[in-house]
Amino acid sequence: MSHFTPNSGPYTVVGLGEALFDCFGERTVLGGAPVNLAVHANQLLCHAHCRGVVASAIGSDPLGERLQKELAARGMTTDYLTVVPEVPTGTVQVTVDVAGHPQYEITENVAWDGIEFTDSLAQLAKSCSAVCFGTLAQRAPISRKSIQHFLASAKNALRVCDINLRQQFFTAEVIESSLQAANVVKLNEEELSVIGELLKLESRELPVDDQIAGLQRRFDLSVVAFTRGEAGTVLYSGDERVEGEVPKYLRQPQADSVGAGDSCCAALIVGLLLGKPLGEIVTLANRVGAFVASVQGATPELPAEILELVGR
Ligand X SMILES: O=C(O)C(=O)C[C@H](O)[C@H](O)COP(=O)(O)O
Ligand Y SMILES: Nc1ncnc2c1ncn2[C@@H]1O[C@H](COP(=O)(O)OP(=O)(O)O)[C@@H](O)[C@H]1O
Would you tell me which residues interact with ligand X (CB under 6 A)? 18, 22, 31-33, 36, 92, 104, 136, 164, 166, 258-262, 298
Beta bridge partners of 225: 186, 235
299 near ligand Y, judged by CB under 6 A: no
Among 53, 110, 246, 309, binds ligand Y (CB under 6 A): 246
Query: Which of ligand Y, ligand X, none does residue 74 bind to, with CB < 5 to 8 Å depending on kind?
Result: none
Query: Which of ligand X, ligand Y, none does residue 33 bind to, with CB < 5 to 8 Å depending on kind?
Result: ligand X
The Cα–Cα gap between 42 and 299 comes to 11
Span near ligand Y by CB under 6 A; candidates 9-17, 51-59, 73-81, 254-262: 254-262
The Cα–Cα gap between 3 and 187 comes to 19
The Cα–Cα gap between 23 and 13 comes to 26
Q: Which is nearer to ligand X, 89 or 203 (CB)?
A: 89
202 near ligand Y, judged by CB under 6 A: no
290 near ligand Y, judged by CB under 6 A: yes
Q: Which is nearer to ligand X, 35 or 128 (CB)?
A: 35
- CA distances to 33, 180, 207, 217 from 54, rounded to whole Å, are 10, 23, 36, 32
The Cα–Cα gap between 243 and 237 comes to 12
The Cα–Cα gap between 53 and 259 comes to 17
132 near ligand Y, judged by CB under 6 A: no
The Cα–Cα gap between 58 and 20 comes to 8
Residues that bind ligand Y (CB under 6 A): 188, 227-230, 232-233, 246, 257, 260-261, 264, 285-286, 289-290, 293
